[in-house]
Structure 1
Amino acid sequence: MSRPSQARLDLRALRHNVALARELAPTARLMAVVKANAYGHGAVTMARALEPLADALAVACSEEAVELRRAGIRCPILLLEGVFEAAELALAAEHDLWITIDNDTQLRWLEQTSLPGPLACWLKIDTGMHRLGVAPEQARDYHRRLLASGKLAGPPVLSTHFSCADELDKPQTRQQIELFETSCEGLSGLRSAANSPGVLAWPQAHYDWIRPGFMLWGNSPFTVPQPQADRLRPVMTLCSAVISVRDVAAGETVGYGATWQARRPSRVATVTIGYGDGYPRTAGNGTPVLVNGRRAPLAGRVSMDMITIDVTDLPPVAVGDPVILWGAGLPVGEVARASSTIGYELLTRMPMRTPRVIVAD
């Protein structure tokens, strides 16, 4: 029998989450973000499932896009960060990729490069994230130069990115929306601003294109309950099984560094999963785990291939009993908070060692 650790993927949940995004923004086109190996779920598998559901896909770089093209994905694909050198523009033309322009260097490359045909382009405007994008007061000039270049298939899509849309009590998102609308006033082209929290909680930011990513995988971008996010269904369930059960006397310690000590006679289960499989080493004692569907606390330091769980208060646990680390019944965000990180990182760090297995199509 093979090692039971695996990431189980529910494509029905994926379709449900896409349908929710469509429901919330019924007049907008949907661009599914599949960068970083589709947030750890498997880029090709997820892109094939999403292609009939989405109007376009988005990736971080041309390498990710070419992987999808070679796998037979034909729908539009946007390079969210644009190109990193002028030579990539020919690659974008060859593979029919949409590009992003967010600085003068990228624009000059486009203006000066001979291409076999026009490209579809997005113009990114920095409304407060201060990471990528042209200054709002420059948007009109960039828009004029793009149209004058003769290299575009049509007016650029005007886009921006929110810095705090997942924090509903902060004023930045409203300020960014106002600045974005002012920057776009009078400029031709469709508009796009809403990432996953924007789709779920900021309907005034839906515009013409929405760009859900994290929410497609069934995970809430918020740290507090949110009505629409609570409707999401997790696509990935990281699971394994118990491989050993033992009694530990009061006062004895478990695992590397002796970070957990039994305060009473205890029963400890060992599970074959660790940081080599994508489970975070920073998960501390008490991090919740599901054993036979019941919660139990992590006991001891996460090692490369194994963790230990205090199952003293559970009904009898035996070798082979199923264990869920996150997913169905245990949100990845809860595990992330117990590990001093975010669900985005846990998902995208899922290594190839952990098999992705489709369990519901």
Structure 2
Amino acid sequence: MEQRNLGSSGPRVSALGLGTMGMSDLYGPADETESVNTIHAALDAGVTLLDTGDFYGAGHNEMLIGRALRGRDRDSVTISVKFGSLRDPEGGWGGHDSRPQAVRNFLAYTLRRLDTDHVDIYRPSRLDPAVPIEETIGAIAEQVKAGRVRHVGLSEVGVETIRRAHSVHPISDLQIEYSLLSRGVETEILDTCRELGIGVTAYGVLSRGLLSGHWRPDRQLTSGDFRGVSPRFSGDNLTANLRLVEALRGVADSRGATVAQVAIAWVLSRGEDVVPLVGARRRDRLAESLGALDLALSADDLAAVERAVPAGTAAGTRYAVPLMQHLDSER
């Protein structure tokens, strides 16, 4: 497995990480046994980076990872945890809390659910507008000194916030959506991260299934699948986005690869400081995603990909409008 550094101060991890959100939340029902088997298959294949959030399934996802890691070498796995997003018993959302006392509280529960004594990368899931980022990062830095956190990360924040956070404690990486359909990071954020020696963990590399090559326009979504209210999956937007996917399929066919593999390989090609997270919930989808590591895109391939899916051609915002307002990275 190829290895990459998460920034100049962060850990060395596998070139592909596994995002586990869909095993517990937001994509409809998942099979817990298959989820654990998928995590095991990823680890056995050399994947060392597991990404979660303490609010995925209201803690279920952390407990799932804790279960999957029993009997495994804890030090061979890098666990990245997002915190701060508030949930209610109905599965709804209640804003964000990144106060220093909340940092300590959330971390205490995370360590218990993961059954570990430390988190490798700890990051606020979104910017809390009520709390200066310096206070939040300072609270995490205290946990670094205590040995409960190894590295400090950020998620979905803009240039100013990145600089302010990094002035308090070295930031290992910024987690942000980055795919052929979501390229806003390329405007200023990516350059800032590189200037400061901050890595990028790219989530949504398959645009929540749109770029998988498996999405059908008549697919019926189950209850609890947030793609049912996602602008890119609705009406004319979905039709337009699937046209882009079919154009990309032509590039994939020419290389004897799948659409998903080309989409992941494209993100891998963005730089040695970019680590894509794949959100596979099943072993067959994981195996397909791992195949992207063997797909080296030539200059001609990359040009063909750009022609198939030009920057800025995605139809619809990546989140519904109310959720877009929580993205400091979009301001």
Does TM, normalized by the shorter one, top 0.5? no
Structure with the bigger percentage of helix: 2
TM-score using structure 2 length: 0.40
Q: Point out the structure with max Rg over C-alpha.
A: 1
TM-score using structure 1 length: 0.37
Structure with the bigger percentage of strand: 1
Using CA pairs below 8 Å that are at least 6 residues apart, which structure has the higher relative contact order?
2
